[in-house]
Structures are given as structure tokens and as C-alpha cells.
Amino acid sequence: MNKTKSISVNACRALLALTFIFSGFVKAIDPLGSQYKIAEYLEAVQLSAYVPDWAQLMLAVGLSAVEFTLGVLLLLAIRRRLASKVTLAFMAVMTAVTLWLTVSDPIQDCGCFGDAIRLTNTQTFLKNVVLLSASIVLTRWPLYQVRFISKTNQWIAFYFTIAFILTASLLSLYHLPIFDFRPYHIGQNIKKGMEIPKGAKQTVYKTTFICEKNGVTKEFTEDNYPYDDSTWVFKDTHQEILEQGYEPPIHDFSITDQQTGDDLTDSILTRDGYTFLLIAPVLERADDSNFGEIDAVYEYAKENGYGFYGLTASTDKAVKHWRDITGAEYPFYTTDGTTLKTVIRSNPGLVLLYKGTIINKWSHNDLPQQDELNAPLSLIETGREPEDRTWTKIVLIIVCYVFPLAFLIAADRIWSWTRWVRKREEWLRQKEDWLKQKEQSNRLYQLLKRKRQMRKKIVAGNWKMNETLQEGVALAKEINESLKAEKPNCDVVICTPFIHLASVAQVLDSSLVGLGAENCADKEKGAYTGEVSAAMVKSTGAQYVILGHSERRQYYGETAEILKEKVRLALANGLKVIFCCGETLEEREAEKQNEVVKAELDGSVFNLTAEEWKSIILAYEPIWAIGTGKTATSDQAQEMLAYIRSIVAEKYGKEVAEETSILYGGSCKASNAPELFAKPDIDGGLIGGASLKAADFKGIIDAWKK
């Protein structure tokens, strides 16, 4: 299906491209011809008075350049979407115009292909319907057009094409059209061009006469014309072609002497020897800058007995004005303006006839120079018909435009291909690297996953200074019972005030719930009234102790040094330490959280041996989140815990870091625990307020089940 689509789109594109290139080119190389055609259109819609000649000429040059360039864009598939849309718009307008031509017939030849191919209005309309359909197909699937040049280099082709077609137009305008498709080309005998071969089909006309009698008008044909009734007064006549017969290539050439009314066509076209015709369709607008050269040719013609006539469609007044400004002495005769415009695309232009055959033509910019006219025409180059240079011109166009373009396309293809090869090599290399990396990271991921699974997940409660002994024992019982009923997926620890420890130890199933103190002394034993040593804690049956909690640092002045000592004693007495760290709000706002946390760990626990480190659990508790209801976001917590793990890794190695449990604490509740615990570096929570109700605490423990 896609193949069919691709074939259809590319066939339509080729049809449109070749048509546009051809029609654009033949018009571009005949800018004056195209201007005359535009003038005809403007006249048909009665707008010619509003558009000056120069604007018509610019429009002619511009339109043909656009058409040609559009054709090249389509051919090379440059800016496919835009070019397709512009083509569709162009064809829509052209089809509408030619429909109007077909229906109203205001102009005989649409001028689509300049003078190269002439179509009837109906043929043109049908041609445009086909092209419009093709452009619809193109616009529907523009990207099916196969590219011939890469996007990077297409601008070169675009500007080169514009430069080429404009140059061709300007050269044709300054000199004469590069190719002459008109019946008055060099080598054409004008009289012969007017002959109708014997037996050729005649055109059949119907003539209608309009007569009037007593205020009544009536139409008559040749058959019923009231020749005998003189009361009918003839008013008007019109002719219509019933059947088109053979029309010779030249059918409208005549020369009249306006003064005498004599028809000089025959005498001039059959004149023996050479005749110069100075052709100026509109003498008022003829370029008079080269009149000296014209006069010199006239003098030369006079000396050698050659004819020299001016032909124009302008009035006597214009002729007189021309004589006044140029001093012209040669006679002027009248010929139809359109015919003269067809004879030569220059105003004025010079035509040399030999016995009625066109020998040469010159634009007023290229008139024969005096030094060339140094002998009779029969002896010099000027008097000889130049050899047909059509092929030389075609080769020149190929060399100047087609070759460079083809070279550009070839270079572009090679460049694209080498780029593609390089890219492919690069891509293959990247793919290989990526596969290796993937394999590695897969292995790493598996390792981390294993480590993570190995790492202890912990939910620890910190009762702080809450609950009487009885309340505490009841709460511990309740927690114990609920965990007995439904086994937790993590280690559970409750850390109670000192006075609860021994009693709570009695009600807990130590295989389900661990027990810890909230503090211990920085002294081993002795006269430290009110203090509880690590050994005493251990003796209650507790296995854990929280150290470095921000509340103790803040309210009881526990420094890094004191904590270092407490940690040492706790470990020495076989307790596991839940060591807390965290920053204040100001410190976070100043983005110093990493620095602060690192200093706390450095100051109290990073002195431990790797062996001692096995009994350390870290808890990150941002002070601004403790008891405030303001939790760190899971991303903030993850970021900090990953950082803590990284500094542990720096200190003790990756493996130890991967085995260290790090908890988050600070307004952790059953509602936010699942999100927090889902983060790869968060191994559980240290819970304050929410650990004082068995159900709330259980809710958090259950987060590990999700």
C-alpha cells in the first residue's frame, strides 16, 4: 500500500516538476513575450491602465522564475511540504483562470508554455485539471517524495536555481530570447509562412449583419440579407468561426503606408536583395538610446542600395516625435502591434531580410557596429544567416546549470553517505557501549538490590518523655500483640525512657520487637548523680540506644565530643547505636545541610572501626521536620540519605555503606511512610509522635508491606 502511495506521489511530483520547469523556462527566456501575455490578461479584466509596463515586466520575470524554481524544488524534493502547498495554491489559481478562459474566451492562448506550445483554452483547462489533481496527491502525502539532496545543502540548489533563471531572463531581455519559438525565427521566409497549402481545409465563418428599420434591429445572414429592401439600414456586422481550417504559421503580417493607404507587404517581402526592418511596435515607448547606431545602419543601407523601413503600430504623431529626437530619415509604415511584438522581442529591434527571408535579428542593444559594416552585406558576416546555435545553447545551459547542480547533488550524496557511514559506526559503537553499560549496571543493580535486601529495614519508635510506667507497659504490650498477630516485614524497635526499660522488656517478644533507651551516660560508672550508664541500659534487656538526637544536642548541650564518648561506651557494652544527625531550617536555607550532617558524623562516629560500624544505625532527622508536621519530601530525604551513604562509602567503602541502615525521622506517619520507604536509600524511620499509639505505629510498620 505504501509502495503504491510512494509510486503515485513520485509520479505526480515528476509530472508537475517537469511541467513547471519547462513552462517556467520557456517564459523566463522570453520576458517581453510573457509581459505581453500579462498585458493581454490585464486588458481582458480592464486593469491594464493600472499596471505600468515595468510592473508587468517584473511580474513576468518573477512569475516565470517562481514557476521554474518550484519545478526544481519538486524535482529535487526540497522543502517538500511547503513546495507541495505552494504548487497546490498555484494550480488552484491557474485552473480557475483557465476555466474562465474556457467559458468566456477572452484570450485565445493562455500562454502557459509561452510560444513553445500553443494549446486551446479547453486543452489548457484539462491540462490544469490533471496538474491540480497531481498537486492534491502531493499535498496529501508530501513526505513520500524521495529526496535527492540533503536538507543541509538544499539551500545551495535553491539559490543557484534562482540565480540561473533570473540570469537567463535578464540576458534574454537585454539581447533576444535564447530560443526563438515564434514563426518569425531566423531562416523563415515570411511570405512562405503565410501560404496555405493547396487542398488545405478552409476556415468556415458565419457572418451576421445587424440592420435597423423604424427603430427595430434585426440580424441577417449572408443568405437572407435584405439586398432588395433599402428601408433596412445596415448598422454592424460580426463574424464567428464555425469550423477552424488550416491556419498558416504567419497569418497576420501586412505593411501599409498610412499616408497613401497602399499595401506594401508584397513589394517589401519580394524585394530583391537585402532589406532592413526597424521594428518598433510602440514607438512612444521605444528605447532611443541607440539611435546613432540605427542611423548608421540606415546610412549603410542607403549607400549599398538596401531597403530600410521602420515598422510600427503607432500613430504619425509618435513617428514625428521619433524623427524629432533621433533625426531618423527612413520611412515608417504601419503593421499590427501584436504582429510586430511577435516578430522581435525588442522595442526597437532590427530585422534583416533577404528576399523576404529573415536572415538576422538584433535587439537594439546588439545592433551591427559601423566597423562590421565595411563591405556589402553579401561579403560580410552580418549579411549571412548565422548557423543554428540551438545545440550550442543547450550545451551551454547544461554546462552552466545542469552540470553544477548534478555535481552538487553527487557531492551531497557522497557527503551524506560518508556521514551516514560515520554515524552508523558511531551508533554501533555507542550501542555496544550502552549494552556493556547496561550489562554492568544490571549487575550493579542486582548487587544493590541484593544489598538493599540484605540491609536491615527498621522502624524504631522514640517515645521521648512520654507515658507513665503503666501507660508505657500497656502500649508496649499492645504493640507486641499486634505484631504477634501480623508479623512485620522489618525490624521493629521501641526506645523508651530509662524507667520503662526493665518492665517493657518483660512484655516484649524480643524476636518481634527490639528495645532501646533514648540516651546513656558519657561516663562508664561512678559518682554521676542522675545518669544512667550504657551498662545499666544493657542490663535491662535493651539492645539499642538512641544517641545524638537533636533535642539532646539542643537542650542538654551534647557536643560531638560527648557523643563520641557515649557511642564508644554504648558499643563497648554491646548496644546497637541509632545515631541521629540533621540540620536546622536556617542551615538548609543556606544550603549547608550536607556540610552540617557530615560534620556531625565526622565528629562522633567516623572514628569507629569497620567492625564497630556494624553496630551503627544512622537516622537523618532534619530539625525543622521534627514534631512540626512538616516532613521532608521523599526526594529531599532520598537525596540526603544517598549523600550520607556516599560519605559512609568514602570512609568505610561501598560495601559497608551498602550494608548500613539509614533511617529518616521527622513527622513520619502511616500516610507518608510508603512514599518515603519506597526510596532506594531510605531503610526505615525513627518515629516520634506516631509511635505513641499502637495503631499509628503499626501503620508505619506496615508501609514495608506495600
For ligand 13P, which residue of 305, 627, 653, 680 counts as binding (CB under 6 A)? Answer: 627
Answer for the pair 463, 502: CB distance below 8 angstroms, yes or no.
no
601 contacts: CB under 8 Å, gap ≥ 6: 579, 581, 618, 644, 647, 648
Q: Which stretch binds ligand 13P (CB under 6 A): 260-268, 382-390, 403-411, 687-695?
A: 687-695
224 contacts: CB under 8 Å, gap ≥ 6: none
Q: Which stretch binds ligand 13P (CB under 6 A): 40-48, 115-123, 523-531, 665-673?
A: 665-673
Is the CB of 145 or the CB of 667 nearer to ligand 13P? Answer: 667
Q: Which residue has the cell 548500613?
A: 660
Describe the strand order of the beta sheet including 204-213 as a list of residue ranges. Answer: 216-220, 204-213, 233-243
Of 500, 549, 551, 583, the catalytic one is 549
Q: According to the binding rule CB under 6 A, does residue 687 interact with ligand 13P? A: yes
Give the strand pairing for 684-687 and 616-620. unpaired
Q: Which stretch binds ligand 13P (CB under 6 A): 24-32, 35-43, 646-654, 685-693?
A: 685-693
Question: What is the rounded CA–CA span in Å between residue 344 and residue 311?
Answer: 12
For ligand 13P, which residue of 19, 665, 677, 703 counts as binding (CB under 6 A)? Answer: 665
Q: According to the binding rule CB under 6 A, does residue 193 interact with ligand 13P? A: no
Is the CB of 348 or the CB of 472 nearer to ligand 13P? Answer: 472
Question: What is the rounded CA–CA span in Å between residue 199 and residue 119?
Answer: 25
587 contacts: CB under 8 Å, gap ≥ 6: 593, 596
Question: What is the rounded CA–CA span in Å between residue 607 and residue 564?
Answer: 8
Beta-carbon count within 10 A of 499 CB: 14
For ligand 13P, which residue of 180, 587, 600, 621 counts as binding (CB under 6 A)? Answer: 621
Is the CB of 601 or the CB of 668 nearer to ligand 13P? Answer: 668
Considering the complex, what minimum distance in angstroms separates the CB of residue 625 from ligand 13P? 6
Single-letter amino acid code for the residue at 524: E
Is the CB of 110 or the CB of 515 nearer to ligand 13P? Answer: 515
- Say whether 385 is catalytic: no
Subset of residues 448 to 477 that bind ligand 13P, contact rule: CB under 6 A: 462
8 in a labelled binding site: no
Single-letter amino acid code for the residue at 184: Y
Q: Which residue's CB comes closest to ligand 13P?
A: 688
Considering the complex, what minimum distance in angstroms separates the CB of residue 576 from ligand 13P? 16
Q: Which stretch binds ligand 13P (CB under 6 A): 251-259, 342-350, 595-603, 686-694?
A: 686-694
Considering the complex, what minimum distance in angstroms separates the CB of residue 518 from ligand 13P? 8
The values of phi and psi at residue 263, to 5°, are -90, 115
Subset of residues 536 to 555 that bind ligand 13P, contact rule: CB under 6 A: 549
Which of 556, 576, 572 is closest to 523 using CA atoms?
A: 572
Answer for the pair 174, 363: CB distance below 8 angstroms, yes or no.
yes
Q: According to the binding rule CB under 6 A, does residue 686 interact with ligand 13P? A: yes
530 in a labelled binding site: no
Give the sign of the dihedral formed by CA 325, CA 328, CA 331, CA 336. negative
Is the CB of 183 or the CB of 666 nearer to ligand 13P? Answer: 666
- Say whether 293 is catalytic: no
383 in a labelled binding site: no
1 to 4, 667, 679: CA distances (angstroms): 5, 63, 50
Q: According to the binding rule CB under 6 A, does residue 666 interact with ligand 13P? A: yes
Question: What is the rounded CA–CA span in Å between residue 661 and residue 454?
Answer: 10
Query: End-to-end CA distance of the chain, in Å?
Result: 51
665 in a labelled binding site: no
Q: According to the binding rule CB under 6 A, does residue 688 interact with ligand 13P? A: yes
226 to 233, 391, 633: CA distances (angstroms): 10, 61, 110
Q: According to the binding rule CB under 6 A, does residue 497 interact with ligand 13P? A: no
Question: What is the rounded CA–CA span in Å between residue 509 and residue 499?
Answer: 19
392 to 388, 397, 476: CA distances (angstroms): 9, 9, 109
Is the CB of 356 or the CB of 688 nearer to ligand 13P? Answer: 688
463 in a labelled binding site: yes
Which of 483, 538, 472, 545 is closest to 512 using CA atoms?
A: 483
Considering the complex, what minimum distance in angstroms separates the CB of residue 608 from ligand 13P? 21
Is the CB of 348 or the CB of 665 nearer to ligand 13P? Answer: 665
Q: According to the binding rule CB under 6 A, does residue 622 interact with ligand 13P? A: no
DSSP-derived 3-state class of residue 354: strand
Q: Which stretch binds ligand 13P (CB under 6 A): 238-246, 409-417, 471-479, 666-674?
A: 666-674
Q: According to the binding rule CB under 6 A, does residue 672 interact with ligand 13P? A: no
Catalytic residues: 549, 621
> Which residues belong to the annotated binding site?
462-464, 627, 667, 688-689
> Which residues belong to the annotated binding site for substrate?
462-464, 627, 667, 688-689
What is the binding site for ligand 13P (CB under 6 A)?
462, 549, 621, 626-627, 665-668, 686-690
